[in-house]
Amino acid sequence: MPSGPAAISRAPTPTRTATPTSRCCGRWAIRWRSTPTCRCIGWPAAAAGPSRTGGASAEPPACCYPKERSGERPPVLALELYRSVTRYAAAKAVGGRLPGLLAGPLAPLRLVNREEPVAPAPGWARVQPRLSGICGSDLATLSGRASFYFSSLVSMPFVPGHEVVGDLYDQCEDLPAGTRVVLDPVLSCAARGLEACASCAGGSTGRCDHVTVGHLAPGLQTGYCADTGGGWGRMFVAHRSQLHPIPDGLADRRAVLVEPLACAVHAALRARPEPGASVLVVGTGTVGALTLLALRALTPAGRILAVAKHERQQDLARRLGASEVIDPKAAVTALRRATHALRLEPERGLPYLLGGVDVAVDAVGSKASLDLALRTTRAGGRVVLAGMPASGADLAPVWFRELEVAGAYTGGTEITEEGPRSTFDVAMDLAAEAPLEDMVGGVYGLTRWREALDHAFGAGRLGTAKVVFDPRGD
């Protein structure tokens, strides 16, 4: 199948206009079983029934139906995550024990032909993905492990995929069509057509306060917003602020790692280890392994210990900078020996240390991984949450040992020895130089999505760091 802009016809994109009288209330999602995708600002609220308490009113305009039904633009093949209470409950029930089922009949995911997404304003352009990663946060969403905290920060149905290298389909300001780019997925104030909030004005776009407003549907990132599309489809739209051109010498399999590497860079710099400090990284999936690389390359950390379960993960951890690799089954004992700490056994619950590492990074986001990080960090130490956090961890060590807990969600601007730099620029430099050749271990077309998810859920066991989609193929 041809790749690049030639793979999709250049049919003219019609423009919708409406009188901005009021916003659609979205209640038609109840009757029509799909979330409106148009933000129909021209539809008066009085016509927005039926209400949650019953009643009826005029049928909504065509733009409030799912985009597949409106027939305005050419269809684009995509994987779409949709709202299903039944499937969510089933996924949550079996996700931790039988994750393979989530690649089968339980997945709240479907392969559809969606209308090509529309650039909502000047400064936006269409992007055709070349490779798009399957992230741990994607798997957490599919398995029902993601916190309900995020439910107001997404809009459904959406096309997942935020780790993307692709080709610009249209010129976007200074970037000509055909430019190969990586995506910074954050939908910050600039992308939403808003005056910069305090965080965005300070360069911390990942902390944007406006991810649910502006001329886009709610969505903290591309890949969680109904209006933009995502990398698990053959076309999405992105704002110039999200697009980073990449050098010709950076292969696609390296470039698709730039976004998770940017997250790892941010986590390593949020860890702020003192010179010679001991650092623990819990988990050596993609983010954990790349955090090891970033810690070794960008910080003065001394001894870096990594908790890795599988043999290939252990080998990768050593290659990317770990001083010592620890099996999770004996992690507390191994860390006691490494730090000369005192190991205690409570009457109930897990053992813990008095003493321990100076800094711990939880790169998994499970209850078990956070418990381990909190219980093996010394008094006054720092714990960084680099994985999407799960609920249920025991926070007693935070209080008793007076631990500092820091989140590391994405990136923005980092303070480096060279001065302030974009997190993505730092990550791009590392991606070009680091030994990342074999980290992408599985590439699948969209029609093989069940195989891809099955592989991703078992990636550690199968010796794979990153599984990706190539939306251009079958």
pLDDT tens over the chain, length 474 residues: 443 433 333 333 333 333 333 333 333 332 223 333 343 333 333 333 333 333 333 333 434 334 444 445 789 999 999 987 777 777 666 655 666 666 666 778 999 999 999 999 999 999 999 999 999 999 988 888 888 899 999 999 999 999 999 999 999 999 999 999 999 999 999 999 999 999 999 999 999 999 999 999 999 999 999 999 999 999 999 999 999 999 999 999 999 999 999 999 999 999 999 999 999 999 999 999 999 999 999 999 999 999 999 999 999 999 999 999 999 999 999 999 999 999 999 999 899 999 999 999 999 999 999 999 999 999 999 999 999 888 889 999 999 999 999 999 999 999 888 889 999 999 999 999 999 988 999 999 999 999 999 999 999 989 899 999 999 987
Query: Do the domains 75-252+441-469 and 258-410 sit in the same CATH topology, yes or no?
Result: no
Select the CATH number that applies to the domain covering 258-410 from these four: 3.40.50.720, 3.40.50.300, 2.40.128.120, 2.60.40.1220. 3.40.50.720
* SS3 at position 361: strand
What residue spans define the domains of the chain? 17-71, 75-252+441-469, 258-410
Query: Which class for 176: exposed (0-12), middle (13-18), buried (19 or more C-beta within 10 A)?
Result: exposed
Q: For the whole model, what pTM was predicted?
A: 0.83
Q: How far apart are CA 88 and CA 105, in angstroms?
A: 12
Q: Does the bond joining 14 to the residue before it have cis omega, within 30 degrees of 0?
A: no
DSSP 298-359: HS----EEEE--SHHHHHHHHHTT-SEEE-GGGHHHHHHHHHTPEEE--SSS--EEES-EEE
The dihedral built from the CA positions of residue 264, 267, 272 and 273, taken in this order, carries a sign that is: negative
Q: Does the bond joining 2 to the residue before it have cis omega, within 30 degrees of 0?
A: no
DSSP 101-117: GGGTTT-SEEEEEEEPP
Cβ neighbours of residue 159 closer than 8 Å, sequence gap 6 or more: 78, 79, 80, 81, 114, 223, 229, 230, 231, 232, 233, 236
Domain 75-252+441-469 fold:
Quinone Oxidoreductase; Chain A, domain 1 (3.90.180)
Q: How far apart are CA 297 and CA 193, in angstroms?
A: 36
